[in-house]
Amino acid sequence: MSRVVLGVSGGIAAYKACELLRRLQGAGHEVTVVPTAAALEFVGVATWAALSGRPVHTSVFDDVHLVPHVKIGQEIDLVFVAPATADLLARAASGRADDLLTNVLLTAHCPIIFAPAMHTEMWLNAATQANVRTLRSRGAVVVRPDVGRLTGPDAGVGRLPDPAELFAVAVAVLEDPSTAARAAGQDMAGLKVVVSAGGTREHLDPVRFLGNSSSGLMGWALARTAVLRGAEVRLVAANVGLPAPPGTDVDAVSSTADMAQTMAVAAKEADIAIMAAAPADFTPASSSQTKIKKSGDGGLELSLVQTTDILAGLVAARTDPRQILVGFAAETPGAEETLLGLGQAKLARKGCDLLVLNEVGHNLVFGQDDSQITLLTKQGAIGPFSGSKDTLAHQIWDEALSLRARR
């Protein structure tokens, strides 16, 4: 259980912070809501107090005997400001301390995350951008706003990301506070990365397909964390029923052949390519143009052929010697095999730089929020690591960056 301050400033998206509060509480954290006075114009004290089960104050002059303006900041594990208005970012960047939230920001020893939300003009304004750079330079995580509908009829960049996205960022920072420094330092700025995600479908006929249980959550976590660290991110997504993480470009594909084609093009531009998807290894030798019908009591025999090996194709087509290629191995070792042995054989077979190894099946990994991985390189195995998929994604990027630095 961690102690979290949820700072809320006066933007139209303040209502979305209620959902973030619920998610943090649901994960067992104790959450104190510290709104600004303007935030209470949008969502009132009663809502914050009832949802959090804790007192709610905006001023340093409430409960003065407890010295809350100093004490709260000293005792917490995370401050998450969502939404962070242009005004709040400016006050935080200039070190103002004119309400309880800004006092907490100055006294906190823990990681601080800002999730800005505002009109596009306010976000792109040089003053706001300078404030974001200042806050990052002091170690704060600033989440990139989403693109979409804003207050009124307008649309553009500046929307508060979905609470599920914000929650994933919070979980990773709480599990591993050092990830905050990587996000603040924007250590992937200037890098282009491509990540494949999801499970491919191999059609037998227009309505039936052979598929697998990959949810796409790991690829999504890799994309989200790379955006957070400043990278330009392309997602090649096969059948993932989730909204794309803000700041990513998504290519939707369906079959392994589609994915191979799209990845081959995307990887040409990429500094790092990660195959986190689960492409089918086999596809029907032929697919019917019309729905296959039952005939009598007979069954149906399928003839399958192997699909293209996407990762091996990327390795063979690599022209940039500094490009890092990462594969995933989802294995179910038999009695005579070990997970590590299967991973090492796959690393050698594929010729990629890094292999992320996990044991799947029996409700392990697929569709789960948490996972366990071991990282394999030619130098040996690192791990196992366990945690949320975002925490593990940060570790995968760390290893990919370190391999790239050694090239």
Ligand X SMILES: Cc1cc2nc3c(=O)[nH]c(=O)nc-3n(C[C@H](O)[C@H](O)[C@H](O)COP(=O)(O)O)c2cc1C
Instruction: Point out the residues that are catalytic.
Output: 212
Give the list of residues 6+ apart from residue 192 with CB closer than 8 angstroms, or none.
231, 232, 234, 269, 270, 271
Contact between 122 and ligand X per CB under 6 A: yes
Of the residues 9, 200, 212, 214, which one makes contact with ligand X according to CB under 6 A: 9
Shortest Å distance, C-beta 103 to ligand X: 13
With 0-12 / 13-18 / 19 or more C-beta atoms within 10 angstroms meaning exposed / middle / buried, residue 406 is exposed
> Of the two residues 140 and 314, which places its CB atom closer to ligand X in the complex?
140
What whole-number distance in Å separates Cα of residue 258 and Cα of residue 50? Answer: 50
Please give the angle made by the CA atoms of 201, 202 and 205, to the nearest 5 degrees: 115
Contact between 56 and ligand X per CB under 6 A: no
The closest alpha carbon to 111, from 90, 141, 145, belongs to: 141
Contact between 200 and ligand X per CB under 6 A: no
Contact between 36 and ligand X per CB under 6 A: yes
CA distance readout (Å), 369 to 26, 276, 313, 365, 392 = 14, 15, 30, 8, 11
H/E stretch holding 105 reads: helix 100-107
End-to-end Cα separation, the chain, in angstroms? 41
Residues in binding contact with ligand X, number by CB under 6 A: 16
Q: Single out the segment in contact with ligand X by CB under 6 A; choices: 9-17, 18-26, 167-175, 397-405.
A: 9-17
Q: What is the dihedral of CA 391, 394, 395, 398, to 10 degrees?
A: -160
The bridge status of strand 192-198 relative to strand 232-238 is: parallel
Of the residues 78, 86, 113, 195, which one makes contact with ligand X according to CB under 6 A: 86
Of the residues 129, 137, 151, 402, which one makes contact with ligand X according to CB under 6 A: 151
Shortest Å distance, C-beta 38 to ligand X: 3
Tokens read off for 318 = 């690599």
> Of the two residues 86 and 104, which places its CB atom closer to ligand X in the complex?
86
> Of the two residues 10 and 163, which places its CB atom closer to ligand X in the complex?
10
Contact by Cβ (8 Å): 361, 332: yes
Residue 253 one-letter amino acid? V
What whole-number distance in Å separates Cα of residue 318 and Cα of residue 236? Answer: 18
Of the residues 117, 183, 231, 356, which one makes contact with ligand X according to CB under 6 A: 117
Contact between 38 and ligand X per CB under 6 A: yes
Contact between 145 and ligand X per CB under 6 A: no
Q: Single out the segment in contact with ligand X by CB under 6 A; choices: 81-89, 199-207, 253-261, 275-283.
A: 81-89
> Of the two residues 15 and 282, which places its CB atom closer to ligand X in the complex?
15
Shortest Å distance, C-beta 159 to ligand X: 9
Contact between 7 and ligand X per CB under 6 A: no
> Of the two residues 39 and 166, which places its CB atom closer to ligand X in the complex?
39
The closest alpha carbon to 159, from 101, 44, 82, belongs to: 82
With 0-12 / 13-18 / 19 or more C-beta atoms within 10 angstroms meaning exposed / middle / buried, residue 289 is exposed
Contact between 247 and ligand X per CB under 6 A: no
> Of the two residues 118 and 260, which places its CB atom closer to ligand X in the complex?
118
> Of the two residues 89 and 324, which places its CB atom closer to ligand X in the complex?
89
Enumerate binding residues for ligand X (CB under 6 A). Answer: 9-13, 36, 38-39, 85-88, 117-118, 122, 151
